[in-house]
Amino acid sequence: MGFTLFYLGAIVLIPFAALVLRALELSWLDFWRLATTERALAAYRLTFGASLIAAAANGVFGTLLAWVLVRYHFPGRRSLDALIDFPFALPTAVAGLTLASLFAPDGWLGRYLVPLGIKGAFTPLGVVIALTFVGLPFVVRTLQPVLQNLEREVEEAAATLGAGRLRTFAQIIAPTLLPAVLTGLALAFARAVGEYGSIVFISGNLPFKTEIAPYLIVQRLEEYDYTGAIALAVVLLVFSFLLLGAINLLEQWSRHARRPA
3-state secondary structure the chain: CHHHHHHHHHHHHHHHHHHHHHHHCCCHHHHHHHHCCHHHHHHHHHHHHHHHHHHHHHHHHHHHHHHHHHHCCCCCHHHHHHHCCHHHHCCHHHHHHHHHHHHCCCCCCHHHHHHHCCCCCCCHHHHHHHHHHHHHHHHHHHHHHHHHHCCHHHHHHHHHCCCCHHHHHHHHHHHHHHHHHHHHHHHHHHHHHCCCCCCHHHHCCCCCCCCCHHHHHHHHHHCCCHHHHHHHHHHHHHHHHHHHHHHHHHHHHHHHHHCCC
Of 32-46, 144-158, 159-173, 204-218, the one with minimum mean pLDDT is 159-173
The mean per-residue pLDDT over the stretch 197-205 comes to 89
- Tens-digit pLDDT profile for residues 219-234: 999 999 999 999 999 9
What is the residue type of 169? Answer: F
Distances (CA, A) of 63 to 105, 187, 234, 235: 31, 14, 33, 31
For residue 216, what pLDDT is reported?
94
Whether residue 181 has pLDDT greater than 70:
yes
Of 101-115, 139-153, 204-218, the one with minimum mean pLDDT is 139-153
For residue 7, what pLDDT is reported?
78
Share of the chain above pLDDT 70, in %: 93
- Tens-digit pLDDT profile for residues 147-157: 888 777 776 67
What the chain holds in terms of domains, given with CATH numbers, is 42-258 (1.10.3720.10)
Whether residue 55 has pLDDT greater than 90:
yes
- Tens-digit pLDDT profile for residues 92-119: 888 889 999 999 999 899 999 999 989 9
